[in-house]
Amino acid sequence: MSETREANYKGVFDNRLGFGERPAVVVIDFINAYTTPGAAFFGQGVVDAVKASVPLLAAAREASIPIIYTKVYFHPSGADGGMFIKKVPALRKMIVGEPLAEIDPLITPQPEDIVIVKNYPSCFFGTSLNSTLKVLGADTTILIGCSTSGCVRATAIDAIQHGYRVAVPAECVGDRHQAPHDANLFDINAKYGDVLPVSEVIAYLKRLRQRPAA
C-alpha cells in the first residue's frame, strides 16, 4: 500500500511558522466576478469564504489591525495583462466601471482600509503591497480571498519570500472547485505558511486587542 501524502511530508514539510506581533490582513480579489451566479469565474466556495470572512474582518478592525484589499483592473486593450490575459481571456472583462470587478458588498472596504489594484496573480507583483507592509511594520500576513489555487497561493509564496509569516484561515479562502482548493491548501500549509481554522486566527486577533498598550 502506498503511503499517504501526510506520511510522505511528515518530518520535512510539517513545520509551523506561528504568528508574529504585527499582522496585516490581505483580502485577495473578493470581487463580484467570483460571487455572482452565472459569471465566468463564479465559485460557490468563494461565496462561502466571503461569508466566513465577515467575523474575521470585524475582529481585525476591533484590534486596529490594518486591512488591505486587492482587486483587478485592466486597461480596455488588455495590454497591461501581458501573457496572463492571453492565457485567461475572460480577465479582459475586469476594467474600470465593470460591476463584476468590484469588491463584494458583504465585505465593503471601510475608509481606513487600503485598496490596491493588481494585474497578476500575486498581490506583491507590480504593486505597492510590500512597501505598504514595511511602513506598517507588519511581520505577519493573514491571507483571505480567492482563488486558493491562483492568487492566494501566489501571494503566499511571495509573502514568505519577502520575509513575512503567512497565516491562511481555511474557511476564508475559496476556489471554483474543491479539488484544487484542497490541494493548494495542503501545499501552502506544507511549504509557505500555516493553514488554520478561522476560529484560531480570530482568537489571535482578540489577544492582540486585549494586549496592554506599549
Bridge partners, residue 138, by sequence? none
Residue type, 66: P
146 included as an active-site residue? no
The catalytic position among 123, 146, 151, 172 is: 151
Nearest-CA neighbor of 34 among 60, 71, 74?
71
8 A C-beta contact, residue 23 and residue 208? yes
Distance in angstroms (rounded) separating the CA atoms of residues 69 and 8 = 36
**Phi then psi for 122, rounded to 5 degrees?**
-75, 135
Other CB atoms within a 10 A radius of the CB of residue 2 amount to 6
Q: Which residues are catalytic?
A: 151
